[in-house]
Amino acid sequence: MQNYFIAAKELILKQNPRASGIETFVYEPSTIEEEPLGNLYIMGWLKNHRSDMAFIPNLIASVIRRKFYKLEAQEDAKTHLERSVQKANEALKDIAKTSTSVLEDIGLCVVNIAGDKIRFATIGDCVMLLFRDVAVTDMQQKSGKKKAREGFANIVTGDIEERDRFIISTRRIMDLFSDAGIVKLFMLAQENQAEIITKIYQKNSKETPLPDQAAMLLEVKAQKGQGLLSFTKNIRARSNVVAQRTKDAFSPTKTIGRAMQKLNPADAIRGLSRIRVHRNALLLSTGIVLTVVGSFVYVAMSMKFTALANAKAKTAQAEPLVRSDKQNALTLLREANALAFPLLSAWYMRADAEKLLGAVDRLFNKANNIYIGPPVFIATVPTTSLQFTPSSIFDTQDYLYVFDKTPNLFYKIDTSSREGSFTFLDLATTTESNRAFQKDGKLYFVNDAARAAYVFSPADKKLERVAASLKKTLAEPSAQNTRDMPDARYALTPEKSRISKDSKLGTIRDLFLLGAYAQNPLDFTVSHDAKYIYVLAQNNIFALENSQ
């Protein structure tokens, strides 16, 4: 099987530096064991350029890369790619739970070149052109189009040859060239190709605004020369030469040994004393070889530990910048990711590397105002014995209050011990509330249709019907599933899959994805110190860490 060198050039074409969710990624083997898997090329883009979804291409690329280069016994590159795109489909389905249109909005192209084979899988409409023997082939057109909702539907496999050239791009770039122009473009050197594509895009953007575009230019060159594997072979060959020379150096001992058989015992003893010098030399040489090998091992391990320490340092530097200096934070996180990822191949560092990469992913999402951390379970509200139906939740300094739709009974939970108990109120009412909110330390329950309202004071545990003097307070609009805090307004999105946080001081919007742990939430509240968001889902209560 041929093992070609692939020259790659990445292009991101934008009209402004804002985050638009269009990315390209080039991954190459970082260890000898990964060499048979070949290179991985990923391009991701968003059709609607929504800023709240800009994190998705990077997230999916990270998922694919990790799964692809995760070493499995006796599995080829095709199997690795199949498992990678399957894992990506699972991740996209998880995201689709919180954003139903994600599979309609995202485009992804994953290409693997290993040996003399090229494999690719796509979501959405992209361009994949092959230039061979002065002819252009549209590989994507020949592979057939699949519905975006299916995710990665299949993997297409083909052969590559030396001097093959590929252009993998978003659709609008190639629409700027005629068929003859594409042939001429392919005949240029890679640097010139990139320059022409960039100039054509910029020229057309001045006349008619174009969306952001991306492209990857690949060229199959001669078979790989002496690289990492060849270097290892040379080391082994040199070791064999050293071993042979050592063997030759001590070959006289055999001759001396045969001669000793003809000597008398006294001469033999004297001969042994002479041979002992050679044995000491052999032990000394063995010690030197072991020392040299040990030094190589020590240096290699030291380099890996240094890389891990540098990755941790960059992650620590990025954490305080996530909210204040996003671009620098993302740069540091990418550098940390590049340092930590190769360490997965070292068994003695895999656990630390996986932990650090998880932290990098969380900070990367946080930089994009996305919080995907799993909610922490707090308590379960018992509902069967009293036929209690949880409807709304509130937080005070030390307790959580869960109320029924009819506010004459509540369940009170100590946030420290997480123990709870029911409390019946003196004022009994059969009026159900259609909205509830918290204001000035008191809880209000309103039925707009019946024009009835009640107020509960946690301090004296009393429920009272709202007096005329409080009508002004109730007249202020306050929808169910919203919470107003001094610095931000929180709201449960209509599909009830995430909580949005809109800053009152600017345009920053944070999104907290609830995931499978807190499905079908009924209500939520923000802790008094704004550190946590408590979610009431069915009869369970979960806590999300709030953004600061």
Residue pLDDT, tens place only, 17-69: 665 678 899 999 888 888 889 999 999 988 776 667 788 888 899 999 999 99
Average pLDDT over residues 327-334: 86
Please determine, for residue 437, whether its predicted confidence score (pLDDT) is greater than 80: yes
Residue 141 neighbours by CB distance under 10 Å: 11
What does the alpha-carbon distance between residue 533 and residue 321 come to, in Å, rounded to a whole number?
Answer: 23
Please determine, for residue 246, whether its predicted confidence score (pLDDT) is greater than 60: no
Beta strands 442-447 and 452-457 are: antiparallel
Please determine, for residue 322, whether its predicted confidence score (pLDDT) is greater than 60: yes
What integer pLDDT is reported at residue 127 of this predicted model? Answer: 92
Average pLDDT over residues 350-357: 84
Average pLDDT over residues 297-317: 83
What does the alpha-carbon distance between residue 300 and residue 227 come to, in Å, rounded to a whole number?
Answer: 17
Please determine, for residue 468, whether its predicted confidence score (pLDDT) is greater than 60: no
Average pLDDT over residues 184-203: 91
Q: Of the candidates 29, 87, 86, which has an alpha carbon nearest to the alpha carbon of residue 345?
A: 29
Which carries the bigger pLDDT value, residue 170 or residue 506? 170
If pLDDT is split at 50, 70 and 90, which confidence band does 235 have?
very low
CA neighbours within 13 Å on the CB side: how many for 311?
A: 26
| Torsion sign across C-alpha atoms 278, 280, 282, 284 | negative
What integer pLDDT is reported at residue 192 of this predicted model? Answer: 92
- pLDDT tens per residue across span 365-390: 777 777 766 678 888 888 776 778 89
Average pLDDT over residues 60-88: 88
Which carries the bigger pLDDT value, residue 99 or residue 120? 120
What does the alpha-carbon distance between residue 356 and residue 335 come to, in Å, rounded to a whole number?
Answer: 12
CA–CA distances in Å: residue 20 to residues 14, 33, 64, 242: 9, 36, 21, 58
What integer pLDDT is reported at residue 441 of this predicted model? Answer: 80
Q: What percent of the chain has pLDDT over 90?
A: 20
Contact, 94 vs 75, CB < 8 A?
no
What integer pLDDT is reported at residue 97 of this predicted model? Answer: 77
Please determine, for residue 456, whether its predicted confidence score (pLDDT) is greater than 90: no
Tokens for 88, please give them: 């990506």
Beta strands 509-513 and 370-371 are: parallel
Beta strand segments in 334-381, E: 370-371, 376-380
Residue 538 gets the label, from left (phi > 0), alpha (psi -120 to 50) or beta, of left
Please determine, for residue 241, whether its predicted confidence score (pLDDT) is greater than 50: no
| Torsion sign across C-alpha atoms 63, 64, 66, 72 | positive
Which carries the bigger pLDDT value, residue 64 or residue 302? 64
Hey, which residues does 521 pair with through a beta bridge? 537
Which carries the bigger pLDDT value, residue 163 or residue 349? 163
What integer pLDDT is reported at residue 142 of this predicted model? Answer: 59
The amino acid at 418: R
What integer pLDDT is reported at residue 129 of this predicted model? Answer: 94
Average pLDDT over residues 333-348: 82
Q: What is the 3-state secondary structure (H, E, C) of 439-505?
A: ECCEEEEEECCCCEEEEEECCCCEEEECCHHHHHHHHCCCCCCEEECCCEEEEECCCCCEEEEEECC
With respect to CATH, is domain 4-224 assigned 3.30.420.40? no
What does the alpha-carbon distance between residue 446 and residue 9 come to, in Å, rounded to a whole number?
Answer: 62
| Mean pLDDT for the chain overall | 79
Please determine, for residue 218, whether its predicted confidence score (pLDDT) is greater than 90: yes
31-53 residues labelled b (16+ CB within 10 A) or e (exposed): eeebbebbbbbbbbbbbebeebb
Average pLDDT over residues 446-470: 79
